[in-house]
Each structure stands twice: as C-alpha cells, then as structure tokens.
Amino acid sequence: MSSFEILLSFIAMGLAAAISAVLIQVTRPLLLRVALAKPNARSSHRIPTPQGAGIAVTAATLLAGGIVIVMAGAPDLTVPLIVFGASLFIAAVGFVDDIRPLPVVPRLLLQAAAVAAVVFVVPSDLKIIPVSPFWLERGLLVLAGVWFVNLVNFMDGLDLMTAAEAVPITLAIALLGCSNHVPAAAALVAAALCGALLGFAPFNRPVARIFLGDVGSLPIGLLVGWCLLELAMRGQVAAALLLPLYYLADATVTLLRRMARREPFWVAHRSHFYQRATDNGLTVQRVVGEVFGLNVVLVLLALTSIAFDSAIADIPLLLAGAFAVAVQLSRFSRSPPT
C-alpha cells in the first residue's frame, strides 16, 4: 500500500466521521417519530430512545469510501460493487425489521442472500484451505457469515458496545493495508467504517441519545466480516479469528448454553455475558471499557501473529487470546464482591 493510499484511508476516515455525525443530527428528529425503541425485558435502556443511526453510519461508510475510491482512480482500489450493494440490501432488511419485525426464516434467507453475494465475489483462486473443495468452503463461509452478521446484531445491546468492538477491528484492518496484508480497497472501507462509528459514538455514549438499530448492526457485521474474510484469504487465519474473538465467544457460548437448556434461542433475551455483567452491578461504562481494553489486547495479538507469520507461533497466540477472553467472560458472569 503506497503512502498515497494510506493518506486516502485517513481522508476516508475523517470524511465518514463528518458525514455520519451530520446525518445523525439530521435524521434523529424523524427517527423519534417512526423508529422509537421502547424498553422491554431484553433492553438495557430505561426510556424510549430512537433507533436507526445505522442509516447514517452505513451511508457515511459507503459514501466516504466510494468518493475516495472514485477520486483516487487507482486500479487496485476497486471495491466490488456487489459488496456495496449487499450492504445496502441488508441495511434495508434491517430497517424493515426495526419498524415491523420480520419472521425468522425470511429474515435469515434475506441475510444469507447478502452474505452469499459477498462471499462469492471473492476470486475463486483464493481459498482459506487450499485442499478443500471450492463449493464446500464457500458454503461453510456463507453459514459463518450469516452467524457473524447476527452475532454483531445480538451484541449491540449496550451503549457504545458496537463501537468498542468494531473500532479496534476496523482500525487494525486499515493499518494492515499499509503492509499489504489486506487489499487496499478493504483497508480503505475499514477506515471509512471506523470513521463512521467514531462519528456515531458521541450520540451513543451512555446514556445513549440514539441506537444503531438492525439497519446499522447488520451492514456493520457484513462489512467487518468481508474485511476479515479478505484477511483470512491471504493466509492470516489466526489474525482473522483473534480480532473478533470476544464477540465470537460471548455470542457462541451464550447460544450453545441456551440450546443445551432447551430454551427458544431465537427469542430475544438478556443472557449474554455483557448483559449479565450489568445485571450483576457493573456500570455500562465499566463493561464497555473492559471490552474495549480486551479488544486492544486481541488486536496486539493479531498483529503479533502477522509479524511472526508462522503457524507454530499462531498456536500460543490463539491460546493467549482465548485465555484473555475466558477470563473476561468469567468476570462478567460473576457478581462483584459486596
């Protein structure tokens, strides 16, 4: 990645932050009327709060990324239009679900269509496991992508939580573009998404004035998943697992526990570890701060994995990441001493 492309990433980040903040200010009065999230048994908020800031975050990411790419005119800064199209499509699905909840099966099928479009746009000569059959790997990636999109949505249940997770990941991916470990286009989109979330953060800090909604969490999950896929396709599987490891662990362990208890796992609930932490007395600021700190640690482990570029070194780094996440989950699940 050239110094010019690095400059473009910073421009995209700043432009996306500005667009996101302005659009939130403009759209919030309308969202107060049409997309008000009222407290329920799953909620962490106590007063009705508008949702739908994801409209601004998604629009800012795609606008800033698209503008900078067009202005640059560089052949290696071509983002497949299908990625932008799939992001808009899944954002529309999320917006409909915010206004009038969709049935589970149609919602998952629509999400799967968006994920499949992104997965199959990756060049066919790129594979994570070279000996695996193409259609088997791509099929499994679609399933993993649908789960990743949904877990980002599941984990968006606390003020600033999505920003605390996605900002370190997207910033790391943008930096990895400097060393060509991800394509320049993916690094630029990650930088734009990072900026859009930074523009959103002041409005979502406790007590939040506005929420992302599904219209934001779903395309964020899709775009972050695409960036991580680009990283994994270039041989950095350990780094691609380490970066989102807290989200993967919290959501997956919670799902498996609910299934083991024969609970209707598709129904909204408050049993994620970060939710149990607030129920156990930790403040929202404390929980989000600890998640952000953990994600910084995971970013450092991922960067170390890439620096060593060795399968042997990846094992202890993955174990270290898993241990750090396990400690955090254990802490969140315990009541603090009185």
Kindly tell me if the per-residue pLDDT of 265 is higher than 70.
no
Q: Is 37 helix (H, G, I), strand (E, B) or coil?
A: strand
Res. 251 pLDDT band, cuts 50 70 90: very high
Tell which wins on pLDDT, 36 or 241: 241
Mean pLDDT in residue range 260-284: 82
Whether the CB-CB separation of 224 and 116 falls below 8 Å is answered with no
Contacts with 107 (C-beta within 8 Å, 6 or more apart), sequence order: 93, 97
Which of the two residues, 192 and 9, has the higher pLDDT score?
192
Q: How confident is the model at residue 121 (pLDDT cuts 50, 70, 90)?
A: confident
pLDDT band at 198 (very low <50, low <70, confident <90, very high): very high
Q: Is the peptide bond before 68 cis (omega within 30 degrees of 0)?
A: no
**Other Cβ atoms within 10 Å of 335 Cβ, number:** 11
Would residue 164 be called left, alpha or beta, if left means φ above 0 and alpha means ψ between -120 and 50 degrees? alpha
Q: Taking residues 162-190, report their average pLDDT.
A: 92
d(CA 300, CA 293): 11
Residue 221 token pair: 């999950």
Rg from Cα positions in the chain: 19
Please tell me the pTM assigned to this model.
Answer: 0.92
Q: What is the DSSP letter of 51?
A: B
Helices 184-204 and 214-232: crossing angle in degrees, nearest 10, is: 150
* Type of residue at 4: F
The mean pLDDT value of the chain amounts to 89
DSSP assignments along 65-97, one per residue: HHHHHHHH--TT----HHHHHHHHHHHHHHHHH
Residue-level length of the chain: 338
**CA–CA dist 193, 174 (Å, integer):** 10
- Residue 233 confidence (pLDDT) above 80: yes
Beta-bridge mates of residue 50: 36
* CA–CA dist 156, 165 (Å, integer): 10
pLDDT tens digits, one per residue of 48-99: 788 889 999 999 999 999 888 877 765 556 667 899 999 999 999 999 998 8
C-alpha dihedral, 196 to 197 to 202 to 206, nearest 10°: 160
Number of H helices, E strands in the chain: 13, 2
When mean pLDDT is compared across 29-33, 75-79, 209-213, the lowest value belongs to 75-79
Q: Name the amino acid, one letter, at 159.
A: D
Residue ranges per structural domain of the chain = 3-333
**Residue 211 φ/ψ, nearest 5 degrees:** -110, 160
For the cut 60, the answer to whether the pLDDT of residue 181 exceeds it is yes
pLDDT of residue 180: 85
**Is residue 75 exposed (0-12), middle (13-18) or buried (19+ Cβ within 10 Å)?**
exposed
Confidence of residue 167 (pLDDT cuts 50, 70, 90): very high
